[in-house]
Chains A and B, each alone.
Chain A
Amino acid sequence: MTPLLKVEGVTKRYGARLGCGDVSFDLWPGEVMGIVGESGSGKSTLLSCLAGHLAPDAGRVIFDTRAEGPRDVLALSEPERRMLARTDWAFVHQNPRDGLRMGVSAGGNVGERLMAVGARHYGDIRETAIDWLGRVEIAADRVDDRPRAFSGGMQQRLQIARNLVTGPRLVFMDEPTGGLDVSVQARLLDLLRGLVRQMGLSAVIVTHDLAVVRLLADRLMVMKGGHVVESGLTDQVLDDPQHGYTQLLVSSVLQV
């Protein structure tokens, strides 16, 4: 078995400031990796580098593509990378407005990704879109409404449906449950866990919510000042943290 994603020494600088430095890890099929750290620790920079939104200054990101086996994502041509982003990859933004087309209906948002990979039959596309809206618990009668008419939690679920409809193998998520109230958050977590298991998804999730990573992530990386200070099994890192910063992070969580 080969890793789905192999990250080697990814470094990104903003002028003299370090975004993220020398990050390496392997992600295996079906694994969910959490990345935690305070804001400014380089989590989102790293995620953007991995997803090809940002060009790192050094390092390699090797993805095991369906057709051609392991390829360096950073060396792909722009059209190749776009194709990858539409088929094997998905990116769930923290703010659903960044991941949705706000002027297009909910069904259109889901259908667009299908059309991007070649679906042409209107009836099929609509049917698939309604099926996916159902899976993320959006009623079928809302299929023609625009996302603007949706609540924040519904928008986030719509974004997830739009991203997963093409059956990606790797999902990048930037604070997927940030800004949602806890009851919606719980339902979203359950939904994501079910999808990860049913579809065999791998995912990289950036968050600052330790409770979310405990429930969702198999493995955890802790970042501080652009560097990974600790990594391991999620429950091991949270229950027996080795680095001073992780110990501080874990002991700072308020108990409910």
Chain B
Amino acid sequence: MIEIRDLSKSFVLHNQGSAVIPVMAGASLSVARGECVALVGNSGAGKSTLMRMIYGNYLAQDGAIRVGDLDVAQAEPRQILALRRHVLGYVSQFLRVVPRVPTLDVVAEPVLAAGGSTEAGLDRARDLLARLNIPERLWSLSPTTFSGGEQQRVNIARGFAHDFPALLLDEPTASLDATNRAVVLDLIREAKTRGAAILGIFHDAEAREAVCDREVDVTAFTPARAA
């Protein structure tokens, strides 16, 4: 489902003496349907960078990123937009929403974007928010005022609202208590069962053990530093 070949990336900082910072070279990996693969490596090794490249958020210099039928590294913006609506979900570490929009609508949005009805979206949102233990009295409020852990759970609910065939998870269990972590792990298992390909970053070794089928160490993709 997700297939990466010889991917490389460097940042050029035009306003800081045109410094060129190579961050990735020769990255290759693949994730099959129903499989959960963990990206591991020290902080700064390029785990999040790789995820962002798959999502089309960072540009790739060279190589191919195949998600479903689309090569993200070569695709037109509108093709990536369609991919994000229907095929590829992404749970980032931070929630970014229009202020003053109720939590329920925030969570339902991916369902509507994928073409679902308002009813279906809201039902799904209620179901997920309840499972993730967000108190019902908060549903009509904007998540921008929530605590960090609550925001993260809203973000997860949003990420799982539509049944994406491929999912990117950036530390979905960080800063969650044991109960909620178990709920998130269940959601990941359910997604695997329905055939989703999942690529995740889990700092929490226990969570990784619980849901991941194998690990890919991104340190192997870090270019040698010319020190």
A111 and B37 CA atoms in complex are apart in Å by 58
B172 interfacial contact with A, CB 8 Å: no
A251 close to B15 (CB less than 8 A): yes
Given contacts A197-B113, A243-B14, A247-B13, contact A190 B81 (CB under 8 A): no
Taking the nearest CB of chain B, how far is it from the CB of A1, in angstroms? 10
- Contact A239 B101, CB 8 Å, known A232-B77, A247-B14, A248-B15: no
Give A254 to B20 CA distance when docked, in angstroms. 25
Cβ 8 A contact of A242, one of B57, B59, B78: B59
Instruction: Report A-chain residues with C-beta under 8 Å of the C-beta of B52.
Output: 239-240
Q: Is the CB of A242 within 8 A of B12?
A: yes
Give the contact-size bracket for chain A.
Answer: 20 to 34
Which residue of chain B has its CB nearest to the CB of A252? B15
Binary interface profile of B, 7-22, with partner A (CB < 8 Å = 1, else 0)?
Answer: 0000111110000000
Residues from chain B with a CB closer than 8 A to the CB of A186 are 98-100
A-B contact count (CB 8 A): 53
Closest Cβ of chain B: how far from A137's Cβ, in Å? 12
What residues on B are CB-neighbors of A39 within 8 Å?
none
Q: Which of A206-241 contact B (CB under 8 A)?
A: 214-215, 218-219, 232-233, 235-236, 239-240
A247-B52 Cα distance, complex, nearest whole Å: 18
Chain A residues contacting B13 (CB-CB under 8 Å) are: 247
Alpha-carbon distance between A186 and B101 when the two chains are bound, in angstroms: 9
Across the interface, do B14 and A193 meet the contact criterion of CB distance under 8 Å? no
Q: Is B216 an interface residue (CB 8 A)?
A: no
- Inter-chain contact B98/A215, CB cutoff 8 Å: yes
Per-position binary interface string of chain B over residues 210-225, scored 1 when its CB falls under 8 Å from any chain A CB and 0 otherwise: 0000000000000000
Task: Give the docked Cα–Cα distance between A46 and B57 (Å).
Answer: 27
Interface presence of B112 (CB below 8 A): yes
Contacting residues of chain B (1-36) with chain A, CB-CB under 8 angstroms: 11-15
Asked whether any CB of chain B lies closer than 8 Å to the CB of A123, the reply is no
**Does B58 touch A at the CB level, under 8 Å?**
yes
Pick the 4 closest A-B CB pairs, nearest first. A244-B14, A186-B99, A240-B58, A233-B77
Sample of 20 A–B contacts (CB below 8 Å): A28-B78, A186-B98, A186-B99, A189-B98, A190-B98, A197-B112, A197-B113, A219-B78, A232-B77, A233-B80, A233-B81, A235-B57, A239-B52, A239-B57, A240-B11, A240-B57, A242-B59, A247-B13, A248-B14, A251-B15
- Which residues of A are in contact with B by a Cβ distance under 8 Å? 28, 31, 183, 186-187, 189-190, 193, 197, 214-215, 218-219, 232-233, 235-236, 239-240, 242-244, 247-248, 251
**Other 5 A-B pairs with CB < 8 A, given A219-B77, A247-B13, A248-B14:** A28-B78, A235-B57, A236-B56, A240-B11, A240-B52
